[in-house]
A = this chain, B = another copy of it.
Amino acid sequence: MKKNILVLGGNGFIGRHLVEALALQESRIRVLTKSLNNQVPPVKGVDYRYADFADSMKVAEALVDIDVVVHLISTTVPATANLDPSADIKTNLLPTINLLQQMRELKIPRLIFISSGGTVYGNAKVCPIPESHKTAPLSSYGIIKATIENYITMFSLQYGLKSLVLRVSNPYGPRQGHIGIQGVIPTIFQRILSGEEIKIWGDGSAVRDYLYIEDLINFLTQGIDNDLEGLYNVGSGNGTSLKDVLSIIENISNLTAKVKYLPPRGFDVKNVVLDISKARKALDWSPKITLREGCQKYWNWATE
């Protein structure tokens, strides 16, 4: 069945890749986005609506006749959300509650929400971390993601909302923001290219689970196709230290990074590797692109 899909944040890093993938299928796609994407032109055939997520009337208009909402909007990033938690609450949490209420009113059955596998668990007791592990976020970014997850559960229980929540690890890939706030890999690549200093909080031993964007989009499109519901970790399932990421990037670029090590930040989680066995079982899916391959693809794109 052809689905009417609304992608909230369809011009962001994940959103744009998703819209391109969906446009190749038989979906009717609408995008709500704050602004034009300044890197690439709009995707053909997609109904673009330009509005702030906090503009509830525009959100309501965008919801008309929609079957599935994919909520990818985050107005903050992990590194900066702590500076102003109130803004995080006002611009992310409240508009999401409004979205849930409007979906209920308009009887829109299905929501897909991108949560944060890298922050909601905090310093987990086991590694890789399964979905059943408790949430204990240390940063405002993670707290808001966990709070939205809880409200989605509440709306599911009370009003029958069908939801798919993906706790995504660290996605990376072409066109990801590289201004030092979104994504370690683009930041390092861009700084090494420009000869700028790379700041690392801690000693570089912090382990993360890096997922190439195509692997994430593949899970998302399959999840939409199959009306998948529930809570899933979506990552590579493998952990890599920041030092090892640096080596891979130095190796691919044939350049040497200028690294400045800074004291660790209290809200940074030490190690995150996601247990993705539930995601593997739910769909015909597994991560295909190794970190080295993904970094090579990023490099090819960045230097083409």
Residues of A within 8 A of B (CB): 82, 85-86, 89-90, 93-94, 97-98, 101, 132-140, 143, 146-147, 150-151, 153-154, 157-158, 266-267
Instruction: Name the distance in Å between A111's Cβ and chain B's nearest Cβ.
Output: 15
CA A139 – CA B274 in complex, angstroms? 28
CB neighbours (8 Å) of A146 from chain B are: 146-147, 150
B134–A140 touching, CB < 8 Å: no
Name 21 A/B residue pairs within 8 A (Cβ), A-sorted.
Answer: A82-B158, A85-B101, A85-B151, A89-B94, A90-B94, A132-B134, A134-B134, A134-B135, A135-B135, A138-B153, A138-B157, A140-B151, A143-B147, A143-B150, A146-B146, A146-B147, A146-B150, A154-B267, A157-B266, A157-B267, A158-B267
CB neighbours (8 Å) of A93 from chain B are: 89
A154–B140 touching, CB < 8 Å: yes
6 tightest CB-CB pairs across the interface, nearest first?
A134-B134, A157-B266, A143-B150, A147-B147, A158-B266, A85-B97
CA A116 – CA B133 in complex, angstroms? 21
CB neighbours (8 Å) of A135 from chain B are: 134-135
CB neighbours (8 Å) of A139 from chain B are: 154
CA A37 – CA B135 in complex, angstroms? 38
CB neighbours (8 Å) of A137 from chain B are: 150, 154
A89–B97 touching, CB < 8 Å: yes
CA A266 – CA B97 in complex, angstroms? 18
CB neighbours (8 Å) of A136 from chain B are: 150, 153
CA A51 – CA B153 in complex, angstroms? 34
CA A133 – CA B134 in complex, angstroms? 7
CA A18 – CA B90 in complex, angstroms? 33
CB neighbours (8 Å) of A158 from chain B are: 82, 266-267
Which of A139, A147, A150 is packed against the most chain B CB atoms within 10 Å? A150
CB neighbours (8 Å) of A140 from chain B are: 151, 154
CB neighbours (8 Å) of A151 from chain B are: 85, 140, 143
Instruction: Name the distance in Å between A23's Cβ and chain B's nearest Cβ.
Output: 34
CB neighbours (8 Å) of A86 from chain B are: 94, 97-98, 101
Instruction: Name the distance in Å between A81's Cβ and chain B's nearest Cβ.
Output: 10
**Closest B residue, CB atoms, query A133:** B134
Tell me which of B82, B132, B147 contacts A154 (CB under 8 A).
Answer: B82
Instruction: Name the distance in Å between A105's Cβ and chain B's nearest Cβ.
Output: 14
CB neighbours (8 Å) of A97 from chain B are: 85-86, 89
CA A32 – CA B134 in complex, angstroms? 35
CB neighbours (8 Å) of A153 from chain B are: 136, 138
**Closest B residue, CB atoms, query A140:** B154
Instruction: Name the distance in Å between A103's Cβ and chain B's nearest Cβ.
Output: 13
